[in-house]
Structure 1
Amino acid sequence: MADNSSLVGGESLRRQINLQVIIVQILVMIFLSINLMLITTFFKKECFYKTTRYILFAVTLLSDSFLLFMSNIMLLLSYFRLTMPVWLCIIISVVVILYFTVTPVTLTAMTLERYVAICMPLRHGELCSQSSTVNCILIIHGLSSVPFMVVLSIFFASASHSFYTQYRVCTVEIFILYRWQDHIRAGVYQFYFMLMCITIVLCYVKIMKVAKAASVEKKNSNWKGLRTVILHAFQLLLCLIQLWCPFIESDVLQISLNVFISVKYINYIFFNLAPRCLSPLIYGLRDETFFHVLKSYVCFGLCKRNINKCRFR
């Protein structure tokens, strides 16, 4: 009787996992399709790839798409318990860790661009030129590489040479050999996100002051910029919560495997997929110019509208 009960429980758990994996695959495919459509739209109009705001938007789309694709592959490898050499997993994981950080750093850069556009309009053209944007992208990737350099340095100092030739299921947790390494990793990320949150809050306060003192003509534009900053902050909050998920999951695992699977699934949906699907909503649909170009593209050019200027708000 106990064996039959165990068998039924195992079958139920397997069906639950299968259903969750299928749902995740559907969501990932939808998000990747939307991002691909937005990236294609980005190259449809010259002013998009000559304007700082749109270029940074494209960086977030590419970063999110790549992260979703790679993390989904790692999810499938983990689900099917497929192993690979540790050295190959390290290469894959490093790329995932890098682009996990690129998006929030880019969001912070976009917030600073809104701050310059609203609070320093006379210097916006100078500070947000094409060459400055290219340098900004390089700085974004440079800053984003610091956390994984810290994680890698600690890992290389702790792992034995034989560890690299072992075959393991590939997850980013492969870098964590000791509990204290996990604390250092979390500390580095939380320090980064604290700085980014402070930057966004300061920009919000400055923009709010300018918006209140602005003339009627500029007030609507400034308040739209303020709402964009609020959405940036919400995205960063979701990304920050994702850093705490491994601690929650490890504690839940000690209680119940079923609860652990459910919690991990919910965390992945809300704190991994959700922040990555907000960018198309915030920038692809709220911007009038981008939306109409996207609409024309989706309608195969039948929904044409003459828009001569890029106006990102």
Structure 2
Amino acid sequence: MSNSTGQQINITMPDMFQVYLVKGLYGAFCVSPSIVFLYINGIMLFTLRSKSVFRETPRYLLLYNLLFADTFQLAMGQLLLILSLPPVFLTQYTCAIIVLITITVTSVSPLNLAVMSLERYVAVCFPLRHSAIVTIKNTGVSIGVVWALSSINPLIRSILLVLYETFSADQIMQQFCAMDALFYSIVSQEYDKSLTAVTFTSVGIVILCSYFGVTTVARSASSDKASTTKARNTVLLHMIQLLLCLSTSLSGILMGYIYRLGTLNRTARLVVGYIFFIFVVTLPRCLSSLIYGLRDQTIRLVFLHHLRCALWTGGLSLATDKH
């Protein structure tokens, strides 16, 4: 009996060493750029709160909400990744709280993109009524509705967790804390597929209708074509961002399909998982600040100013609000 145990240890120890080596190398490779993007996103969030012109303009408020959701989701993803590197064992209760919060914030991004597209549609198609329709109050209500709708998903998930999953609050997780580790029943999987299809189809229709509406006005406009063209490109950018959000939502399904092929060993699955994490989960969450920070002329000057101050002084320097 002791010989068989010793033989098993000799066989498994090199494999475990290789697994922990891959975790350390790829974990550092994933965490390092994410920290940089979190830093940049933080500067962008600070920028959007540093001037009254940003705080009192509806589209900048919507951008702040989108960027906050993306940054928070990126931070939670980094937390889960860091916890997966050493053998940290979480209780199912702790894991469920982290996952449910992440699910709530994840649902905000596509819904917020739909509201941003509608705002651009109203600005171009109803310019005389834009200031009356898109007010600070109405924008705040829209953001509240977005968060309220996003909160429905984790509530339903909590019910599914109690009714259909093997859940015990004080039980230790036997694997990496993730949504797939908590919700693995057929009912939860079908709900996830249905919710993803309904959400992205609905938001996609809203963005497409906004794009075609803005395009129609841009073709028929006799003046201010530059403004309408810029609005059309902005709505198109929202569609690209929606596709990136969709790729993030489908990453779990794609990873599950790859794992079920059975052709990859444990080390190879870790490598594929980290590659997915970088290009499918991390990058879409980091593009908003870079795209809008460099594309919008009003934001660009203030953003680059704060970025230079942060790089030179090691922290954000408070800019005097002249507006």
TM-score (norm 1): 0.88
Partner in structure 1 of residue 232 of structure 2: 226
Number of the residue aligned with 2:205? 198
Deviation, structure 1 residue 10: 5.8
Q: In the alignment, does 2:294 pair up with 1:288?
A: no
Equivalence map 1:152-301=2 (5 Å): 152-159=158-165, 163-168=168-173, 169-216=176-223, 218-253=224-259, 254-256=262-264, 257-300=266-309
Q: Deviations over 1:13-32 (max 9, x none)?
A: 54333221111111111111
Q: What is the CA–CA distance in structure 2 between the aligned matches of 1:59 and 1:135, rounded to whole Å?
A: 12
From 73, 81, 87, the equivalent of 2:79 is 73
Name the counterpart of 1:142. 148
Label 1:35 to 1:177 Cα distance change in 2 as closer, same or farther (>3 A): same
Name stretches of at least 5 consecutive residues in structure 2 with no aligned partner.
Answer: 1-8, 311-321
Shift of 1:5: 9.6
Code of the aligned partner of 1:197 = G
Identity of matched residues, %: 29
Tell me what 1:304 maps to.
none
Contact 2:44 2:293 in 1 (8 A): yes
In structure 2, give the amino acid aligned to 1:154: L
Verify the 8 A CA contact 1:78 1:171 in the aligned structure 2.
Answer: no
Structure 1 residues 268, 111: CA separation in 2 closer, same or farther (over 3 Å shift)? same
One-letter amino acid matched to 2:250: W
* Aligned mates of 1:7, 1:155 — CA distance in 2: 35
SS at 2:147 equivalent: helix
Measure the CA separation in 2 of the matches of 1:112 and 1:39: 23
Task: Pick 1 or 2: higher relative contact order, CA cutoff 8 A, min separation 6.
Answer: 2
In the alignment, the residues of structure 2 paired with residue 121 and residue 50 of structure 1 have an alpha-carbon distance, to the nearest angstrom, of: 18
Whether the 8 Å CA contact 1:53–1:110 is kept in 2: the answer is: yes
2:32 aligned with 1:26: yes
Counterpart residue type for residue 166 of structure 1: Q
**1:91: Cα distance to partner?**
1.5
> How far is 1:7 from its partner?
6.9
Aligned ranges for residues 94-109 of structure 1 at < 5 Å?
94-109=100-115
Give the drift of 1:179: 3.1
Does residue 46 of the first structure (1) align with residue 55 of the second (2)? no
